Structure 1
């Protein structure tokens, strides 16, 4: 809890120190006003019974002033800290984005425990604004509780036991929150899968398959099973939490009743005045409300603390994956090429290698095609070339220099890439293409050139050309384009850089028909030839269409994580091995 308090205070004061100071001052006023009103009510009662009208009127005015202060201070404090709370959430969202992208690698995205933790953090950080309110309200309650304890002790020394009993509900509340948190963590995987199924069954992109394949009922049943398992665990955790809270409140309730009996008995015996009875009743009632509020606030603070702790765990996971600090620039021109020596790789969390003992030379200026069955390791290989992962063993050499010694940012600036699972940037069409070379993002000529290289006419079909806003996330309305059009824009984005040393095209035309893909690669062959002459750049593409693959200078057949065959189309056909079999099977499908 103390970690949560410290973290929230530091975060909030950095956002707006003046508003935080105002909010704290107003909440302090609220804390003093409530017990002060009870003390003034005691004097009002005693003076009224004694017949002292002037003194009773003065006490009445103080009671009214305290009541107004109690009502208004908290309200104006809320106005002061509300904006800070909103900024806190925005700041933590920005930090989460930075942390998620804080590693140059993708390892953390492959870990299921990281995905569960990220899902919880994303959900809980949106409620971080409640944490600041809980913190300020809790501080106000602590001050009020201290003053209430002093006043109760002055009314009767034995009443000091009542605030001490208030500790029990707080401790029980902490146990309750721990039980609820454990239940949420145990249910995180089922919750994440249930949300995925919910998004799948409500998204427009999957609606066609759901209806044609009759999957709606099946997915609803799976959603219900995941949600049932998740909600059952959460319900059990909340039940345990409820029992803890009920036990703590029950103990305090017995103490509360005992205190009232004690004070009333003292008044009956003439040892206390009516004003003391009124004071004790009001303070005990206030204490009861303060304890109930404190239990809730303690839960919110613990939840906020847990959110910040999970955020730190996510950050630590990513921090442990920070790349090397080598600053050697990549060569201006490739002369030898990219060589892989005994390269093996296994994904995080598993010892099973996806690639084993890869030895290859991708000659400078060449066009290289990688083929193989699904899951053979083709995409993994191109990711290693982009250093999205580090090889588990072996080396990747760029003109004889270990890729790990090159400045990673500078290396990626000399790369271009188009992937099958491309991003859909809901920006203007100009920006969605232009960000492929960020310094030229607003250069219409460069954007049009990239579109031409991708053989894309998608912009001519858009209502406002390059100024068309893509997607449905725009408040003023955007244009929703087809999957094929999104892919054409992604391909154009990959063509933005003029002189890449390495161009990666991983199934970039999967949404295009065979003829369109063939035209695309024929067009790009001209660009690749120009870049090869100027920089010795290498083009690596992954494709299942052998009419396109045969255009490559070098064809690599991956099977079972190893290089099974390697050579030109003619060489591999003459070899009559795996490549020749796959080529003939596909070619037969196109014969009349």
Structure 2
């Protein structure tokens, strides 16, 4: 019962905090409707006895039964108006909680953990049902009240009939066991389900469909998806069959008790120990109890699922690490020495090889640094560490001598501007898609247009018919689709919204552009960086595996298999004839 208690506690506490007026109104209306049901059986008993005795007061019993029937039918409807809205508000609150937990300040390491990914997916999917779970709590309360009233009524006819209610326990217990069987099956197949969903997105997304069609791989992908789905479905059917057998066993116990209760009252009536009204009462209550047991099983199943979701949320909360309240050191207003990496090493998980090894490096204040290296050398991982998205596995990062681990992550990130290689395509209005780079000025059209101009993307502002207010992308509305290069320009403009950061990072930002366009963007970025360097000693970090612009950097860092192979200026590194010279000449031959 721990899952059910957890669900009830979460839902009622959240509802009370969200809108206690709606909660109280829905609960009272629901209880009135549920209490009316067993009282209808009492009215039918009185109606039967008085009708048999030709008592004119039978009309009043019929009228009372009719009024109670109206209550039974209508109160739940009026309650629905309150608890459904309240459930929607709870769902929104829990969605916000999930976003907060997924974006906690201690970095992205959890996203590399399959268990975390599975838990996050299960919670995300189950939160859509949370509004129904609140209704289940209120309905279960009504069922319990119905049961209490029915117990009193049955005990007045015969104490033995109370056993009919006790017989309702086996179906409830069996329902819990059955739900556990299904939950374990879902968790066991969670990883395959993620893969199936990924394959489905590949087969239905415009970006991947063109490659699949070109290589005639649609059938192969569909076959793989179908094979995995058959395996998941087979496991699910096995679990559901076992669960159905367990539920059937519990229902059989109640069915036998139900038949015994009717037989008992019929025997009493035959011996003149009970009136005809008692027979009607017991048959009516027995039918109601049967319906209550069926409803209770369904409600408990819903609440068990909600309880599992609440438990998963609790696990996410237990792993959550809040930012230090008072111990965090302030971010320097201006860099005077720069950023130093001392013996930095990093691996994504304990069982995987290190991506960075013993990296010791000085990034001078006000300097332009280019990091080069072959694919897989560790360039993007280095960027993630500098942005505070991950903590080094070993070593430390110092900002003007202050350990980055002592600085509040949110405070440090407010002083960064980054464009990643795998930039996001925010399908919002153009103003919002660019303005996300600096939320404080996201509604300032002058700032947004300025960022687009600095990114060399001023013409994009005229492409949507509604200008900055026009939707970009077509996935969520009738928007304007952009080319790959235009999306990249929007992402670049977003990174240029912050005009005075301490660290400007471009991680392979021009992969979709030609060398000339890359050089032009690099110059624009250097101009923005120069102003930031003059005011705050900002560092510009440009990551690339292309060499069309590296000769303009103040410092070139060559990464090779996670280590710093060489550092220096362009001319000095060429003269040294090492790894940099080899890569540069190889790149030059491509453009000959």
TM-score where L is the length of structure 2:
0.95
1:22: which partner in 2? 25
Partner residue in 2 for 1:131:
133
* 1:405 CA displacement: 2.7
Does the 8 Å contact 1:104/1:323 carry over to 2?
Answer: no
What residue number does 2:431 align with?
Answer: 430
Moved more, 12-21 or 196-205: 12-21
**Paired residue for 1:8, among 2, 11, 15?**
11
1:377-526, aligned counterparts within 5 Å?
A: 377-457=378-458, 458-472=460-474, 477-526=478-527
Matches within 5 A, 1:135-284: 135-284=137-286
Is 2:47 the partner of 1:44?
A: yes
Which residue number corresponds to residue 527 of structure 1?
528
Note closer, same or farther for the CA distance 1:513–1:462 as it changes in structure 2 (3 Å cut): farther
* Root-mean-square deviation over aligned CA pairs: 1.8
Name the stretch that deviates more: 351-360 or 112-121: 351-360
Q: Determine the structure 2 residue equivalent to 1:72.
A: 74
Of 50, 53, 60, the match for 2:62: 60
What count of residue pairs does the alignment treat as equivalent? Answer: 588
| Shift in Å, 1:144 | 0.7
Identify if the C-alpha distance between structure 1 residues 163 and 449 changes in structure 2 by more than 3 Å, giving closer, same or farther: same
Q: Note closer, same or farther for the CA distance 1:349–1:228 as it changes in structure 2 (3 Å cut).
A: farther
Contact 1:470/1:478 (CA < 8 Å) preserved in 2?
yes
- C-alpha change, 1:40 and 1:534, in structure 2 (3 Å) is closer
Contact kept, 8 Å, 2:419 with 2:491, in 1: the verdict is: yes
Unaligned runs of 5+ in 1: none
What SS does the aligned partner of 1:214 have? coil
Q: Secondary structure at the match of 2:207?
A: coil
* Counterpart-to-counterpart distance in 2, 1:407 and 1:167: 53
The aligned residue for residue 545 of structure 1 is 546
DSSP 3-state at the match of 1:206: helix
- Contact in 1 for aligned 2:323/2:408 (Cα 8 Å): no
| Structure 2 stretches lacking a partner, 5+ long | none
**Cα shift readout 1:123-180 (whole Å, capped 9, x = no counterpart):** 1000001111111111111111111122122222221111111111001111111111
Tell me the secondary structure at the aligned position of residue 195 of structure 1.
Answer: helix
Determine if the alignment matches structure 1 residue 336 to structure 2 residue 337: yes
- Is the CA contact 1:456–1:488 (under 8 Å) kept in the aligned structure 2? yes
* 382-391 vs 518-527, greater mean Cα deviation: 518-527
Instruction: Name segments (4+ residues, structure 1) moved above 6 Å.
Output: none
Tell me if the contact between 2:363 and 2:369 (Cα under 8 Å) persists in the aligned partners: yes
C-alpha change, 1:272 and 1:217, in structure 2 (3 Å) is: same
Q: Secondary structure at the match of 1:436?
A: coil
Distance 1:464 1:19 in 2: 41
Mark the CA change 1:21 to 1:237 in structure 2 (over 3 Å): closer, same or farther: same
Q: 2:569: which partner in 1?
A: 568
- Contact 1:103-1:323 at 8 Å conserved across structures: no
Alpha-carbon contact 2:104-2:321 (below 8 Å) kept: no
Deviation at 1:196, TM superposition (A): 1.1
For residues 297-342 of structure 1, what are the alpha-carbon distances to aligned partners after superposition, in whole Å with 9 as ceiling and x for unaligned? 111111111111111212222x137568544323333222211111
Which shifted more, 279-288 or 523-532? 523-532
Aligned 8 A contact 2:178 2:247 in 1: yes
